C-alpha cells in the first residue's frame, strides 16, 4: 500500500484558464487602447482605408468581431478555471495567475505581431504613420518581455504552491 497522505494532496491549478484569459485580455488591451483610444490602427486598416465612411465602417465591424473573439477567450479561460476548481485542484496564488495572464498577453502579441502585422499585413502598429517596421518590432519585443516576465512570475507562484502542498 502506498502512502495515502500523498494521494490526498490537491493538484496544482490548471494553466489553461490563466493563459486563455491572458490572450483575451491582451486582445482587449490592443483593441481598446490601440484601436479605439489612440486610433493608431484598426483590424484591417492596412487593407481598407479609414479615411472614408465605408472604410471606417468596415474597420469598425472587423474590430467588433475581434472583440468578440477576445471575449470568447476570456470566457473560455473563466470556464477552464471553474472546471479546474471543481476538479478539486488548488486555487492559483497571485504570482501563478498573474504570470499566466502576462504570458497569455505576450502570446497574443506574438501571434498578432507575426501573423497580422508581418505575414498577412492586415494592419501594423502605426498605420496612421504608414506602418513603420520599427513600431512592429517594438511590439514584438514587448511581447517577448511579457512572456518572460510572466514565466518568471508564474514559476515563483508554482514554487510557493508546491511548498504549500509539501507543508
Instruction: Give pLDDT, residue 50.
Output: 83
* Residue-wise pLDDT tens digits, 35-44: 999 999 889 8
CB-based contact 95:160 (threshold 8 Å): yes
What's the pLDDT score for residue 7?
58
80-122 confidence digits (pLDDT tens) = 999 999 999 999 999 999 999 999 999 999 999 999 999 999 9
Question: Residue 77's pLDDT is what?
Answer: 98
Tell me, what's the pLDDT at 10? Answer: 87
User: For the residues 13-27, what does the mean pLDDT come to?
Assistant: 97
Q: How confident is the model at residue 127 (pLDDT cuts 50, 70, 90)?
A: confident
pLDDT at 1 over 50: no
> How far is Cα 137 from Cα 13, in angstroms, rounded to an integer?
34
Mean pLDDT of the chain: 92
Segment 48-61, tens digit of pLDDT: 888 899 988 999 99
Per-residue HEC secondary structure of the chain comes to CCCHHHHCCCCCCCCHHHHHHHHHHHHHHHHHHHHHHCCCCCCCCCCCCCCCHHHHHHHHHHHHHHHHHHHHHHHHHHHHHHHHHHCCCCCCCHHHHHHHHHHHHHHHHHHHHHHHHHHCCCCCCCHHHCCCHHHHHHHHHHHHHHHHHHHHHHHHHHHHHHHHHHC
Tell me what the mean pLDDT of segment 126-149 comes to.
93
Amino acid at each position: 500500500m502506498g502512502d495515502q497522505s500523498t494521494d490526498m494532496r490537491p493538484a496544482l491549478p490548471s494553466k489553461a484558464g490563466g493563459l486563455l484569459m491572458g490572450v483575451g485580455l491582451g486582445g482587449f488591451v490592443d483593441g481598446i487602447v490601440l484601436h479605439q483610444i489612440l486610433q493608431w490602427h484598426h483590424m484591417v486598416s492596412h487593407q481598407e482605408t479609414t479615411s472614408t465612411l465605408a472604410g471606417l465602417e468596415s474597420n469598425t465591424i472587423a474590430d467588433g468581431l475581434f472583440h468578440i473573439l477576445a471575449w470568447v477567450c476570456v470566457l473560455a479561460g473563466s470556464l477552464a478555471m471553474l472546471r479546474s476548481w471543481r476538479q478539486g485542484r488548488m486555487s492559483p496564488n497571485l504570482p501563478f495567475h498573474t504570470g499566466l495572464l502576462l504570458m497569455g498577453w505576450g502570446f497574443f502579441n506574438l501571434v498578432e505581431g507575426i501573423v497580422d502585422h508581418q505575414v498577412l499585413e492586415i494592419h501594423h502598429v502605426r498605420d496612421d504613420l504608414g506602418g513603420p517596421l520599427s513600431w512592429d518590432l517594438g511590439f514584438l519585443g514587448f511581447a517577448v518581455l511579457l512572456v518572460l516576465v510572466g514565466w518568471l512570475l508564474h514559476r515563483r507562484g508554482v514554487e510557493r504552491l508546491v511548498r504549500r502542498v509539501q507543508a
